[in-house]
Amino acid sequence: MELIRDLVVQGAQMLLVVLLAPLVTGVVRKLKSRLLRRQGPSVLQPYRDLLRLIRKDVVLADNASWLFRSAPYLIFSTTWVAAALVPTFATGLMFSWSADLIAIVALLGSARFFLALAGMDVGTSFGGIGSSREMMIAALAEPVMIMIVFVLALLAGSTQLSTIAAYMVSPAVGLRVTLGMAFVSLLMVGIAETGRIPVDNPATHLELTMVHEAMVLEYSGRHLAVLELAGSLKLLLYLSLIACLFLPWGLTLPDASAWMYGIGLAAYIAKILTGCGALALFETAIAKMRVFRIPTFLGAALMLGLLGTLLLFVSRGF
Amino acid sequence: MHGIAFDVAHLLAGCLVLVSFLMLYQDRLYSLLNTYALHATVLFLSVAWQAYIQNAPDLYVTAGIALVFKAIIIPVALHRMIVKLGIHREIETVVGTGPTMLAGMGLVGLSLVVMLHAAAGANLMAREDLAFALAVILLGLLIMVTRRNAVSQVVGFMSLENGLILAAAGAKGMPLVVEMSVAFSILIAFIVIGIFLFRIRERFDTVDLQALDRFRGERQ
């Protein structure tokens, strides 16, 4: 009985992230259009786009290898597994023993690796530009992410997400400047990793600025649909990660009643919607950075993480 | 010891170190001055909190001096001075932002290690306060070393002095006479530096301190 319930919760969570991901993209787009006083497409538009892309034929370049064809599925599956490991509305998940922050970073890293390879596979110049830029951002963002993991692990004594979330809800956490720094640092990394505005513009096809779009330029049909879904999933993953780590209130703890699961789900939806609103507001207020400014941006994030770790040592007194 | 009093003191002192880093990061004079005002405001909050938890009413005076002189009067006066001097408002740094930040991180690490060992006997609150104060002082020195412009060196000097106040507030307060005299000596130093700035400007048509090196016949 226990096992069945755990399986149901885990399965519901996996389905939930996939179903919700295009909606998150749609909501962010809609809010951004409304902030610019445009009507904007319906929030359901990403679903329609995905359906249309799946029905269309795939156009492959002559020299595309097997890697080009299999990469979208690899990227989608690794991103999906990573997204399913993040506790969204309940912590006591079937796979929570494997829901390790380092594992999630590694899964996202391998997805990015395949995406960069696929971008270079056909041999067009845009794909190469996109891949090299993506690798530059990755090389800068990964240390920051590891630094944040380090801070959280020092505090909670574990890198497991459910343990960290349980620690964050407990009163033992107190008021800490380190956590504030880690939070800001995670926001900056999230923006860089999901390709949002100051780092990359998700809505552009201008060759000077695009990063993610340049890599998927050669894809069409169902491959493109899968990649778009993976992109939305990554955005949702970061939103859930931030919500789970730094705003864990309302998260359902293990062995709770069905009523509690309802509350957890409602809280999760509210948190994600708030996150979408904040993201849309931020993206509307800020301009895209030059590519060469990105190291400074991520350097500041790294500095925050490092400073947070140092301050943590003072408060613990070694 | 891990009560709310300790947490808030830690939070404010940590914010002071963070604002020092922000000052190191600025490359415009006006934004540097605004950040300095923020630095002094955080210092005010931190000292006021120390006054509250230590039950030391004379620390409130220190906090008030920090707020009135350092957060309001000095930044406004420096603003006016920049306008009068008519210098251009970008700061020429000696080395790039990246190495400077790394050096700053190194200094913070160093001061934490030194203080945690040197003041191992003191109570937890005083010890972490001293560690943060040393970090702020070293960062202020770093600001002075890495800037060529005389105005930004003055700002570095003032932030260094903020670190001294933080250290004094953490170590069970200091006598009011000492505090008053320190505050006034800072003010006088500020006035003297201001006069000097105008003299340097008259003589050399610039406040870039490399001009002085050239005048003394040193290397370019």
What range does the domain containing B91 cover? 4-215
Residues in A closer than 8 angstroms to B18, CB to CB, are 177, 181, 304, 307
- Confidence check: pLDDT of B42 > 90: yes
Residues in A closer than 8 angstroms to B114, CB to CB, are none
In this prediction, residue B126 carries a pLDDT of 78
Is the CA virtual torsion B173, B178, B181, B187 positive or negative? negative
Average pLDDT of the residues in A207-217:
85
Write the pLDDT tens digit of every residue in A288-308: 888 888 888 898 899 899 888
With a pLDDT cut of 90, the percent of chain A lying above it is 52
Number of domains in chain B: 1
In this prediction, residue A211 carries a pLDDT of 87
Nearest CA to CA, how far is B104 from chain A (Å)? 10
In this prediction, residue A317 carries a pLDDT of 47
In this prediction, residue B98 carries a pLDDT of 79
Residues in A closer than 8 angstroms to B7, CB to CB, are 174-176
Say which of B21, B108, B124 has its CB closest to residue A317: B124
- Mean pLDDT is highest, among A173-177, A250-254, B13-17, B151-155, for B13-17
First to last CA, chain B: 55
For residue B165 the two structure tokens come to 């106040």
pLDDT tier for residue B82 given thresholds of 50, 70 and 90: confident
Say which of A177, A303, A314 has its CB closest to residue B105: A303
In this prediction, residue B1 carries a pLDDT of 46
Q: Do B10 and A315 touch (CB under 8 A)?
A: yes
Task: Report the C-alpha gap between A105 and A79 in whole angstroms.
Answer: 10
Number of domains in chain A: 1
Q: Do B10 and A176 touch (CB under 8 A)?
A: yes
Average pLDDT of the residues in A242-270:
83
Q: Do A176 and B25 touch (CB under 8 A)?
A: no
In this prediction, residue B174 carries a pLDDT of 62
Closest CA to A219 of A49, A25, A46, A53: A53
In this prediction, residue A168 carries a pLDDT of 85
Torsion of CA A300, A302, A306, A309, to 10 degrees: 110
Task: Report the C-alpha gap between A310 and A77 in whole angstroms.
Answer: 37
Residues in A closer than 8 angstroms to B8, CB to CB, are 175
pLDDT tier for residue A135 given thresholds of 50, 70 and 90: very high
Nearest CA to CA, how far is A277 from chain B (Å)? 27
What range does the domain containing A67 cover? 2-316
For residue B88 the two structure tokens come to 């251009």
In this prediction, residue A90 carries a pLDDT of 76
In this prediction, residue A318 carries a pLDDT of 39
Average pLDDT of the residues in B198-217:
71
Task: Report the C-alpha gap between A114 and A278 in whole angstroms.
Answer: 30
User: Is B201 a member of any domain?
Assistant: yes
For residue B213 the two structure tokens come to 């090196």
> Which is higher by pLDDT, B105 or B61?
B105
First to last CA, chain A: 45
For residue B146 the two structure tokens come to 């890495």
Can you name the residues that pair with B149 across neighbouring β-strands? B208
In this prediction, residue A79 carries a pLDDT of 95
Three-state secondary structure readout of chain B: CCCHHHHHHHHHHHHHHHHHHHHHHCCEHHHHHHHHHHHHHHHHHHHHHHHHHHCCHHHHHHHHHHHHHHHHHHHHHHHHHHHHHCCCCECCECCCHHHHHHHHHHHHHHHHHHHHHHCCCCCHHHHHHHHHHHHHHHHHHHHHHHECEHHHHHHHHHHHHHHHHHHHHHCCCCCHHHHHHHHHHHHHHHHHHHHHHHHHHHHHCCCECHHHHHHCCCCC
Nearest CA to CA, how far is B46 from chain A (Å)? 13
Check: CB of residue A148 under 8 Å from CB of residue A305.
yes
Task: Report the C-alpha gap between A53 and A297 in whole angstroms.
Answer: 35
A240: how many CB neighbours lie within 10 A of its CB? 25
Average pLDDT of the residues in A138-142:
93
Of A64-68, B78-82, B202-206, minimum mean pLDDT range: B202-206
Nearest CA to CA, how far is B90 from chain A (Å)? 18
Three-state secondary structure readout of chain A: CHHHHHHHHHHHHHHHHHHHHHHHHHHHHHHHHHHCCCCCCCCCHHHHHHHHHHHCCCCCCCCCCHHHHHHHHHHHHHHHHHHHHCCCCECCCCCCCCCEHHHHHHHHHHHHHHHHHHHHHCCCHHHHHHHHHHHHHHHHHHHHHHHHHHHHHHHHCCCEHHHHHHHHHCHHHCCCHHHHHHHHHHHHHHHHHCCCCCCCCCCCCCCCCCCHHHHCCCCCHHHHHHHHHHHHHHHHHHHHHHHHHHCCCCCECCCCCHHHHHHHHHHHHHHHHHHHHHHHHHHHHCCCCCHHHHHHHHHHHHHHHHHHHHHHHHHHCC
Say which of B7, B11, B128 has its CB closest to residue A314: B128
Say which of A299, A310, A314 has its CB closest to residue B98: A299
Residues in B closer than 8 angstroms to A299, CB to CB, are 97-98, 101
Nearest CA to CA, how far is B31 from chain A (Å)? 17
B99: how many CB neighbours lie within 10 A of its CB? 12
- Mean pLDDT is highest, among A12-16, A61-65, A221-225, for A221-225
With a pLDDT cut of 70, the percent of chain A lying above it is 96
In this prediction, residue A315 carries a pLDDT of 67
Task: Report the C-alpha gap between B11 and A312 in whole angstroms.
Answer: 11
Nearest CA to CA, how far is A301 from chain B (Å)? 12
For residue A215 the two structure tokens come to 């890599």
For residue A92 the two structure tokens come to 């006591």
In this prediction, residue B63 carries a pLDDT of 86
Check: CB of residue B135 under 8 Å from CB of residue B164.
no
Average pLDDT of the residues in A81-106:
82
Residues in B closer than 8 angstroms to A304, CB to CB, are 18
In this prediction, residue B219 carries a pLDDT of 55
Q: Do B128 and A296 touch (CB under 8 A)?
A: no
Nearest CA in chain A to B121: A317
> Which is higher by pLDDT, A266 or B90?
A266
Q: What are phi and psi of A210, to 5 degrees?
A: -75, 145
Closest CA to B170 of B16, B21, B3: B16
Q: Do A318 and B131 touch (CB under 8 A)?
A: no
Q: Do B25 and A300 touch (CB under 8 A)?
A: yes
Write the CA distances from B133 to A181, B17, B107, integer angstroms.
19, 8, 12
Write the pLDDT tens digit of every residue in A184-208: 999 999 999 998 888 888 887 777 7
> Which is higher by pLDDT, A180 or A257?
A180
Interface of B with A (CB under 8 A): 2, 4, 7-8, 10-11, 14-15, 17-18, 21, 25, 97-98, 101, 105, 108-109, 112, 116, 124, 127-128, 131-132
**Residue B86, Ramachandran bin (φ over 0: left; ψ between -120 and 50: alpha; else beta):** left
Residues in A closer than 8 angstroms to B2, CB to CB, are 174
Residues in B closer than 8 angstroms to A307, CB to CB, are 17-18, 21, 105, 108
- Confidence check: pLDDT of A19 > 90: yes
Average pLDDT of the residues in A87-91:
79
Q: Which residues contact A58 (CB under 8 A, 6 or more apart)?
A: A220, A221, A222, A223
With a pLDDT cut of 70, the percent of chain B lying above it is 87
Across chain B, what does the average pLDDT equal?
A: 81
Nearest CA in chain A to B114: A314
- Confidence check: pLDDT of B182 > 90: no
Check: CB of residue A236 under 8 Å from CB of residue A24.
yes
In this prediction, residue A94 carries a pLDDT of 67
Task: Report the C-alpha gap between B17 and B133 in whole angstroms.
Answer: 8
Displacement of CA A234 from its chain's centroid (Å): 4
Of A187-191, B20-24, B171-175, minimum mean pLDDT range: B171-175
User: Is B220 a member of any domain?
Assistant: no
Nearest CA in chain B to A304: B18
Across chain A, what does the average pLDDT equal?
A: 88
> Which is higher by pLDDT, A55 or A166?
A55
